[in-house]
Amino acid sequence: MKCIIAEKPSVARDIARIVGATHKEEGCFSGNGHVVTWAFGHLVTLAMPEAYGFPTYSREQLPIIPDPFRLVVRQIRKGTTYTDDPSALKQLNIIRKCFDRSDRIIVATDAGREGELIFRLIYAYLDCRKPFDRLWISSLTDKAIREGLSRPADGRQYDRLYLSGKARSEADWLVGINASRALSIARGGAYSLGRVQTPTLSMICRRYIEHRDFRSVPFWKIHALPTGLSVKAIGEMTYESRKAADRAMEDLDPREALIVSSVSVQTNPVPPPLLYDLTALQKEANKRYGYTAEKTLSLAQSLYEKKCTTYPRTGSRYISEDIFEEIPSLLESLKDDPDYGDYVEKLTAGTLNRRSVDDTKVTDHHAILLTGEKFDSLTRDEEVLYRMITVRMLESFSEAAIEETLTLTATLTQREHRFGIKAKRRVKSGWKAIRGSVEEPIEEGETVVDSFPEWQEGDRLDVFGFEMTEHQTKPKPLYMEATLLSAMEHAGREVADEEARKALAGCGISTPAIRAAIIETLILREYIRREKKTLIPTEKGLSVYKLVAGRKIADAEMTGAWEVALAAIEAGAMDERTFGKSIEVYTRQICEELLTTAAGNTDDHYKTYRCPLCGNDSVRVYPKIAKCVTDGCGFKVFRELCGTLLSKEHIHALMTDGCTPLLCRLTGKSGKTFNARLKLDKDGGTSFVFDSKPRKPQT
């Protein structure tokens, strides 16, 4: 008898059908020499501090470093205590019986670090000694399952993968538990910190503060308008004042001509994009459709379980040579597609592009592909994601596009004013023919044309006039999920030290499969919130950031270095005990750092302000509102104003000086942004104050 353990009931059901285990029992299937059961995610977890005798928060007890770590059934919180999850306990008992009935176990949890950890923790908790093999597949098609079962690998080949997952889990426990307790003790509140969570929060808060405090500066440019051309000649000079730009305009004569001083045309092949990994898929789905990272992961997992696509939690955008051999048949399955069938015919008739083919860059799993399987029905959102993966496959194996870029510099005949023209045209569509040019980004100052005039140095370009345009310096945009995922993926790029940057190249904060959960955790903790497509820190999140900024717990470089170390453990290049000891040292350091924040706890509570209506010192500030607590007095100021959160400093200025500093990039009902001050009126209302005139009260 063989026992096969899957990660989810749906996967177990498919495997049971294939191996002939058709008899349904409680929590499993049996038959034909097999029993097939399943987990529900992590049924076994690391015990909480209470299990080690630390039920209360105490400075003297930190850091808490279990030796060894204890395993417990998944816990649920009831009031102030934790208890075993009844459903997890029930399924564990079923798994124990299935193991006892079998001679050998086949591990069919998701083929990755977390999937391996799910099984190994169950195996250890049940104190099982049965030998086990590993089913390592990248799709759940019947063919893939049968092939995988025909050649299972010895489970011990994946010991390093398990040790990497175990090291990650224990590191998260040590850092999260101890850092959270240390800050809570120091500041007298309830705080949640984490190994990945806190550096990510710091990135969001830093960007928000930079954006909030950015002071936009106007500048002006002058453009020449060549006769008979649809393109502008952009002036090289930037003017910091309108007067300077006006003087320059007065100095220009439309009767003069531009003389070409340099001209070049470059032919550039544009290679097709690489296939999707999970992060790339999440980023594009967020940009195009506003999908959250968590939603995209959920949809991708659903497509995988419906056998439409391959394993989604991959960090590779490449495929191996043996998978490349299957690509023609996968593309053939799209020949009847009403949208892309004709293109597939042309594509398969030629030579497929090999840019996404590289054995050395395939990690545990290759890039996300279609499986070629037919499906009955998909939800609207599943269909959107399936089409995205389809299009990307077609693009990736298509030939390169070819574009020409024209760069021209010209000077007025009688002046030193220099102007430039930049334009491009498509010579060969290649992979870009699939979507057309509608979605193509255009660089600032660049124009797309059908053809280039054959300009040469010394040629004369007549102009029919000049125009002046006003611009504003812009801050770095607030993070959207797409840009945050990219920042998490490439955290090492921001590291100043060159050697450290090289070491962290290609390694970011956490893994593709976990990043979505980190964002959702920050939202759940009310540290950040979604505002349209952007991620904005809450006052609570900003207060946490203020406490941890510049400390080790908020260091993205450190977190990225750990991901490098975890990968090294998996590869056998680092001993997991060495990593564990370094985490213990780090844990002691962050406890010391965070406990010292108690000494500077002078700004922990908001002040109470005098009410402009009743005159009492009774205006208190809360996360979403400042209001008078005197009975019968209705004074209040909502802190959420035109898409901007009024900070403690803003409230302080409003209540003491009667007016806030300039609030930048407020968003009106029309969607346009503006700058204004918020003024406190005599009747307790508020109004906007602009440079010239005030607005009517808004609150």
Active-site residues: which are they?
311
Phi, psi of 519 (to 5 degrees): -60, -45
Instruction: Note whether 362 and 277 are within 8 A (CB).
Output: no
d(CA 13, CA 18): 9
Structure tokens belonging to residue 671: 């969607």
Question: Are 363 and 315 contacting, i.e. CB atoms less than 8 angstroms apart?
Answer: yes
Given a contact cutoff of 8 angstroms between Cβ atoms, the answer to whether 505 and 492 are in contact is yes
Sign of torsion over alpha carbons 208, 194, 184, 74: positive
Q: What is the rounded distance in angstroms from the CA atom of residue 621 to the CA atom of residue 606? A: 6
Q: Which of 549, 468, 561, 455 is nearest to 509 (CA)?
A: 561
The two three-digit tokens of residue 217, written as one number: 């500066």
Cβ-count burial 209-240 (b if 16+ within 10 Å, e if not): bebbeeeeeebbbbbbebeebebbbbbeeebe
Helices (H) and strands (E) in the chain, counts: 20, 29
Query: CA-CA distance, 676 to 600, in Å (whole number)?
Result: 34
Residue 63 token pair? 């850091």
Pairing, β 233-239 against β 218-226: antiparallel
Judge whether 645 and 531 are in contact, CB under 8 Å.
Answer: no
β-pairing, 460-472 vs 528-531, is: unpaired
Q: Name the amino acid, one letter, at 153.
A: A
Q: How many CB atoms lie within 10 A of CB 676?
A: 20
Dihedral through CA 408, CA 412, CA 418, CA 420, nearest 10?
Answer: -30
Contact 205, 545 (CB under 8 A): yes
d(CA 53, CA 55): 6
Q: State both tokens at 682.
A: 């005599």
Check if the beta carbon of residue 467 is closer than 8 Å to that of residue 222: yes
- And the tokens for 81? 């205590």
Please calculate the CA angle 284-289-295 and round it to the nearest 5 degrees. 80
What does the alpha-carbon distance between residue 91 and residue 361 come to, in Å, rounded to a whole number? 38
In whole angstroms, what separates CA 612 from the centre of its chain?
A: 45
**CA distances (Å), origin 89, targets 116, 125, 484, 518:** 20, 12, 37, 27
Pairwise CA distance, residues 179 & 62, whole Å: 9
157 token code pair: 């080949």
Q: Which burial class, exposed, middle or buried, applies to 379 when counting CB atoms under 10 A from its CB (0-12, 13-18, 19+)?
A: exposed
Please state the three-class secondary structure of 466-516 as a single string.
EEEEEEECCCCCCCEHHHHHHHHHCHHHHCCCHHHHHHCCCCCCCCHHHHH
User: In the chain, helix, strand, coil percent, each to 5?
Assistant: 40, 25, 35
Structure-block tokens of residue 17: 């059908």
Q: Which neighbouring-strand residues pair with 262?
A: 409
Give the ranges where 20-137 is alpha helix by DSSP (H): 86-101, 113-125
Question: What are the φ/ψ torsions at residue 194 (nearest 5 degrees)?
Answer: -155, 160
